[in-house]
Amino acid sequence: MAMTQIYDTAELVAKDQAHLLHPVSNLHLVRRDGPLVLARGEDVWVWDTNGKRYLDAFAGLWNVSVGHGRKELAEAAAEQMAEIAYVPTFFGLAAPPTIELAARLAELFPGPLNHVQFTSGGAESNETALKIARYYWWLRGRSDKVKVLSRRMGYHGIAMGALAATGIPTYHEGFGPLTPGFVHLTAPYQYRNGEGLSENEFVAQLVAELEETIAREGADTIAAFIGEPVQGAGGVVVPPESYWQAIAPVLKRHDILLILDEVITGFGRTGTMFGMQQYGLAPDLVSFAKAVTSGYVPLGGVAVTDEIFDVLSEPNRMFMHGFTYSGHPVACAVALRNLRIIEEERLPENAGEAGAYLLGELSKLQERPYVGNVRGKGLMLLVEVVADKGTKAKFDPARNVGGRLEAATRARGIIVRCTNDGIAISPPLTIRRPELDLLAGAIGDALTEVLG
């Protein structure tokens, strides 16, 4: 028996419909149909309140990297709460796990990324990174360097600054005016944006666009470029291998800071501890969240280089940024324990191996007339569906392909993210061969049911 408690599903659903405002959900449909209530988890498995088991192949929201139900994380939280639950990091205060975690992260991040400010999540981390970038230039007497370059299909969270950097129009609709000073570039999405081009030609085109944009806007007005090593929520866009090595030197030449958003890619998901290691990148700032605690408690942060830290810590100046929960001791204690699991169980390595195997299995779907593209890096993958493979036309939203795929996958006991454009997959990094086979099989069957 998987469940440890008895739940009244009907009552929970009714209360949800009456009172819970779900993020990034069709509120009309959730109010009408109710939520799926998940009550228990163990490794890659979760159970709903009726006792039905699902493979959580989205790892919560890309974040439950060590899998569900890890008692050692619950113990780390309980021990810290009993010791002291809360200490701010404002005004030069700090708790031991907060300090230990900053030091541990400085060891884990490659290069001179040795200084961390904590937040409660991804959007706050990106707000922090963007503000630090501007502040850094301001302190260096270059107060006109305020603009931010980002990419279409990029997702950086939905607080106002992070939202302006986010390059997915549906997140902007109705929430304007957007924070000014953000310029969006083309996503490194070869399937649609680099059609008919070799990889080198496509990358050259993206570099030319970047150069033109910098020339038009003026390098003296641009503070930073923010990007995910592999774009996640926008559609698992794995850039051409040479993309980042072509982009990064242009930024450096124009004194534009590189902020890598490692909120999804951090802590193993792509097959290395950080996405930056896949592409040999040396960013100036890195934002992280999600898997730093595997989602057991909210935590995020930004790491900056020695150079930036030295500028920020000039004498006679307060650094007027941070949040009540920056460096929450309980979250930091959980993160320390979580990072130990990720290292001891070699989860980045497993993500690389399991991801390559799953990509191989899912690539077999590419033969089907409605599968346009299958792509992935480590354990972030996407099966993109199209109405017409030749023209790459998208499905008419009226066909509700996303909703039907969601129903078909859940009926087969897997939780993935379904949209009209396909199925995104991001399981816990602990996933092994039998579960990968089950997952690939269920995705294939769900596609057959919905699209033939």
Pick 155 or 395: Cβ nearer ligand PLP:
155
By CB under 6 A, the residues from 245 to 264 that bind ligand PLP are 261, 263-264
Q: Which stretch binds ligand PLP (CB under 6 A): 71-79, 120-128, 339-347, 412-420?
A: 120-128
d(CA 377, CA 351): 9
CB burial of 71-85 (b: ≥16 within 10 Å; e: otherwise) equals eebeebbeebeeeee
Tell me how crowded residue 343 is: count the other CB atoms within 10 A of its CB: 14
Residues 301-340 that bind ligand PLP (CB under 6 A): none
Residue 171 CA to residue 207 CA, distance in Å, equals: 26
Residue 127 engages ligand PLP in binding (rule: CB under 6 A): no
Nearer to ligand PLP, 61 or 178 (CB): 61
156 binds ligand PLP (CB under 6 A): yes
The answer to whether 381 and 241 have CB atoms below 8 angstroms apart is no
Which class for 108: exposed (0-12), middle (13-18), buried (19 or more C-beta within 10 A)? middle
Contact positions with ligand PLP (CB under 6 A) in 24-43: none
Question: Rule CB under 6 A: which of 129-148 touch ligand PLP?
Answer: none
How many whole angstroms separate alpha carbon 160 and alpha carbon 178? 7
Region 60-79 residues binding ligand PLP, contact defined as CB under 6 A: 61
Confirm or reject binding of residue 122 to ligand PLP (CB under 6 A).
yes
Is 232 near ligand PLP (CB under 6 A)? yes
When asked if residue 233 is in the footprint of ligand PLP (CB under 6 A), the reply is: yes
Indicate which single residue of 43, 48, 228, 435 sits in contact with ligand PLP (rule: CB under 6 A).
228
Hey, is 423 helix, strand or coil?
A: strand
The window from 13-21, 188-196, 226-234, 403-411 that contacts ligand PLP (CB under 6 A) reads 226-234
SS3 382: strand
Nearer to ligand PLP, 150 or 430 (CB): 150
Give the nearest distance from C-beta 266 to ligand PLP in angstroms: 9
Candidates 5-13, 65-73, 118-126, 249-257: pick the segment binding ligand PLP (CB under 6 A): 118-126
Residues 268-307 that bind ligand PLP (CB under 6 A): 289
Give the CA distances from residue 293 to residues 130, 152, 187, 339, in Å, rounded to whole numbers and listed in that order. 23, 28, 29, 8
Looking at residue 11, the DSSP 8-state letter turns out to be: H
Distance of alpha carbon 362 from the chain centroid: 21
Applying CB under 6 A, the residues found at the interface with ligand PLP are 61, 121-123, 126, 155-157, 228, 232-233, 261, 263-264, 289
